[in-house]
Amino acid sequence: MMKHLFIGLCALALLSLISPRLLVPAQAAAVETRSEGPLSYDISKEVTLSGTVSSVLSKPAKGMLMGSHILLSTPTGPVDASLGGFALLGKGAVPVAAGQQVEVTGVMKTIKDKQVFLTRTVKVGGEVYTIRNEHGFALSPQARERAGRKSTGEVL
């Protein structure tokens, strides 16, 4: 009985020494794959586009990413600018309407064989609205409000 227990403990100790070394490359590959996915956001690849809003979609049309969108007419052609689920909601919502001139900053992606612009900031009428953080995550109305308080020095 003691011999079987000793063998089992030795096998467990050996596995615990080997396993972390086997998992590290697999985990690193998984992280690399995620960082290059269709919804990944690389701030170093950001561009700013200027255009006229042709329409505002508070709900996506079939085949679009979830969340709101603005369709822009730009000098290089139409652009589907994804605003995420919160940009048109709550305090600090982006006040955008068809016919307005806007500047959007973000990253162009191809998702399901369609080009979509993942928008991080929208400039409307001289005011800049941040709707995603630097990692591409959509900011809720509460997060936008907290960020506004921090930037003005207001006590939270």
Q: Which of 103, 97, 102, 111 is nearest to 39 (CA)?
A: 111
Task: Identify the bridge partners of residue 104 per DSSP, sorted by sequence position.
Answer: 49, 122
pTM: 0.71
132 burial level (CB within 10 Å; 0-12, 13-18, 19+): buried
Are 18 and 115 a contacting pair, CB within 8 Å? no
Q: Looking at per-residue confidence, does 94 or 23 come out higher?
A: 94
Element (H, E) at 81: strand 77-84
Q: Which of 64, 100, 99 is nearest to 82 (CA)?
A: 64
Across the chain, what does the average pLDDT equal? 81
Q: Looking at per-residue confidence, does 14 or 96 come out higher?
A: 96
Torsion of CA 29, 35, 37, 40, to 10 degrees: 170
pLDDT in tens, 89-99: 988 899 999 99
| C-alpha span between 153 and 45 (Å, rounded) | 31
Are 56 and 116 a contacting pair, CB within 8 Å? no
Mean pLDDT score, 133-140 = 91
